Amino acid sequence: MDCLTADFEKNVRTLDALLGVGRCFDMISRDLYVGGKRARLWVVDGYGDDAVIERMLSFWLPLRNIDGAQTMQQFIDRYITFSEVNAEQSVETAVTSVFLGKLLLLIDGFDACALIDAKQFPARSVEEPSAGKVLRGAHDGFIETLVANAALLRRRIRDPQLTLEGHKVSDCSRADVVLCYLENKVDRKLLDEVRQKLKRIDVRSVSMSQESIAEAMMEKKQWWTPFPKVRYTERPDAATACVMEGNIVVLVDNSPAAMILPTHFFDFVQEANDYYFPPLIGTYLRVLRIVVFLLTMFITPVWYLLVKDPARTQAGLEFLAIESDYSVPLLVQLLLAEFIVGAVALVIVEVFPLQIAMLFGAANESTYYADFTVKCFRTYLCLMPLATLNKGTFIYLQALGKAFASTAVSMTREIIFGVSLPVILPVFFGLDGLLWSFPAADLLTFLIAAFFIRQTYRELSDVSAVHTEEET
C-alpha cells in the first residue's frame, strides 16, 4: 500500500491522478499557503459544507508560521478546530475518504494528510420520483441541479474508477452534460462514439434537455426507427446499477432524469424494484412481462392469419383451424380467453399501480400510503392469470352440470385457502405473508382446478370420438 511522503510535489501528482483532477468536473482542488508553507486541499463539489470550509480557511490563511507543528497530527491538534478530523498516511485510504465526502488537506513537509469530515450530502427535499416509486431502498431522486445529481452517484459509488466527464453542448445555452462511467468497465469504443456525437451536436439550444440531446445524437439515417436508443431513470439506485454494469449514464443540467446508454429490448421489461425481491420472485415478474408482451404481439395476428388462410397452417397447429365444431374445444377457447384477460389485467396493475390507486382518491395521500399501495397491487395480484383460469373453470364446470365439482373447487379457494392462508402466513412472514396469501391461494386452487380441467377435457374428447364414430 502506497504512503504519502515528505515530497509535496510527488504527493500532489499522485493524489491529482487518483482523484481525477482535471478529468472529473466535480473534483475541486485549491492551492494555498498555511503558515508560509504550500498547501493543497481537495473536496468533491456538492459534498463540502461551504460554511465549515470557509471558517477553517479564514483561520488558516492568516497564520504567519506553524513552526510548532512538526507533524500533521501536531498541526491537527493545534490549528484545526473541527472535531471530526484525523491524520492519514495511506494514499488509498485518503482517496477513498475524499469520495466518502471528506476534505483532504496536504501541507508541504508533512508525510501525512488531514482528513476533515465536513461533508453535507445533497438530498431531495420534496419527494421521490413519481415515475419510479420505490418499494424498498432509498427514496431520494434526481433533481434539476447537475452537481447534486452527480453527488448522489458519488455517494453510492465510492470507487476511484468512477469518472464524471464534463461537456458543454449547444452554441447558445452552453448546457452542461456529464458522462458517468467506470474507467475499468466501460466500453471504450462506445465511449469514444458518444464523445464524438456530443462534439458534433449542432443546435442553438437544448430546451428539452436530454431528449434534445438524444435526438441530436441519433444518426439521421435512424430517424425512422420506432425503437428507443436510450432509456431514462429518475432513480439514483437504478443509475448506479447501470454504471456498475459498464453502461454510460448521461446527466444533463436542468433535468431530473438520467439517460442510460446503451439499451436493448430486455431493459424495458425490467424494473429496479425487481432487485428488491428475492431472486425467484424477481425473475418470475420479469419473465412474466416478457411472456405477456410476446403473447400480445403475436397471438392476435397469427390467429387471424390461420383463420383467413388455413392452407398456411403448419403441422402441429391444425387444431387452430376452424373446420368443424370440435376443432378447438370450447373449454380450450374459454381458458385461453380467461388467461389473456388475466394477463392484460396483470400488465396494467404491474405497470400503472399508482395511477389506478389515484382513481380511488389516493392522489392526496402520503408517500408511505402510496408506497404500500403499489406494493399491495404488485404482490397481491401477481398471479391474476391463474385467478382468471380458476374462475373460468368454476363457470365451465357449472355449465356442464357438475355443480358439486364447481362448488367444491370454488369453496376450497374462498374458504379453505382464502381464510387459512391469511391467518397462517403472517405468523411466519409478517405483513408480507398477508399480501402473499392471495397468490398462494390462487396457485393451490389452480393445481386442484387443473385436475378437474384434465378430467373434463378427457370426457369431452371421449364424447367427441363417439360422435365421430356414429357419423362415420
**Residues 234-276: pLDDT tens digits?**
888 888 888 998 999 998 887 888 888 888 777 777 777 777 7
Task: Report the first-to-last Cα separation within the chain, whole angstroms.
Answer: 90
Specify the higher pLDDT residue, 28 or 135.
Answer: 28
Is 46 a domain residue? Answer: yes
Please give the single-letter amino acid code of residue 118. Answer: A
Cα(196)–Cα(190) distance, integer angstroms: 10
Is 195 a domain residue? Answer: yes
Task: From 96, 116, 136, give the residue that closes a domain.
Answer: 116
Is 280 a domain residue? Answer: no
8 Å CB contact between 28 and 85? no
Cα(44)–Cα(27) distance, integer angstroms: 5
27-34 vs 37-44, strand pairing mode: antiparallel
- What pLDDT sits at residue 10? 92
Is 322 a domain residue? Answer: no
Is 57 a domain residue? Answer: yes
Please give the single-letter amino acid code of residue 205. Answer: S
Cα(460)–Cα(335) distance, integer angstroms: 15
Is 296 a domain residue? Answer: no
The order of strands in the sheet holding 113-116 is: 27-34, 37-44, 103-107, 113-116, 85-88
Instruction: Report the candidate in 420, 426, 422, 418 with the shortest Cα–Cα distance to residue 442.
Output: 418
Same domain flag for 447 and 335: yes
Q: What beta strand segments (E) does 72-151 contain?
A: 85-88, 103-107, 113-116
- Rounded alpha-carbon distances, angstroms, from residue 468 to 152, 164, 174, 359, 463: 72, 74, 79, 53, 9
Same domain flag for 247 and 376: no
- Rounded alpha-carbon distances, angstroms, from residue 284 to 265, 277, 287, 379: 17, 10, 5, 12
Cα(184)–Cα(310) distance, integer angstroms: 56
Count: domains in the chain: 3
Cα(28)–Cα(53) distance, integer angstroms: 13
- Lowest model confidence (mean pLDDT) among 5-14, 48-57, 197-206, 279-288: 197-206
Q: Classify 156 as helix, strand or coil.
A: helix
Same domain flag for 93 and 168: no
Same domain flag for 349 and 258: no
Is 276 a domain residue? Answer: no
8 Å CB contact between 350 and 289? yes
Q: Classify 22 as helix, strand or coil.
A: coil
Task: From 246, 264, 282, give the residue that closes a domain.
Answer: 264
> CA gyration radius for the chain?
32
How would residue 123 be classed by pLDDT, with cut points 50, 70 and 90?
low
- What pLDDT sits at residue 366? 59
What tens digit of pLDDT does each residue of 387-424 get? 888 877 777 777 666 777 778 878 888 788 888 888 88
Handedness of CA 461, 464, 470, 472 (dihedral sign): negative
Structural domain span for residue 168: 146-264
What tens digit of pLDDT does each residue of 4-59 get? 998 999 999 999 999 999 889 889 899 999 988 999 999 988 788 888 888 888 88
Same domain flag for 343 and 439: yes
Is 291 a domain residue? Answer: no
Same domain flag for 187 and 250: yes
- What pLDDT sits at residue 402? 75
Same domain flag for 155 and 94: no
Task: From 78, 101, 116, give the residue that closes a domain.
Answer: 116
Same domain flag for 110 and 198: no
Cα(61)–Cα(32) distance, integer angstroms: 8
Same domain flag for 357 and 397: yes
Specify the higher pLDDT residue, 204 or 338.
Answer: 338
Please give the single-letter amino acid code of residue 348. Answer: I
Cα(38)–Cα(8) distance, integer angstroms: 8
Same domain flag for 90 and 182: no
Same domain flag for 159 and 109: no
> Does the predicted TM-score (pTM) go above 0.85?
no
- C-alpha cell belonging to residue 213: 440531446
Same domain flag for 110 and 158: no
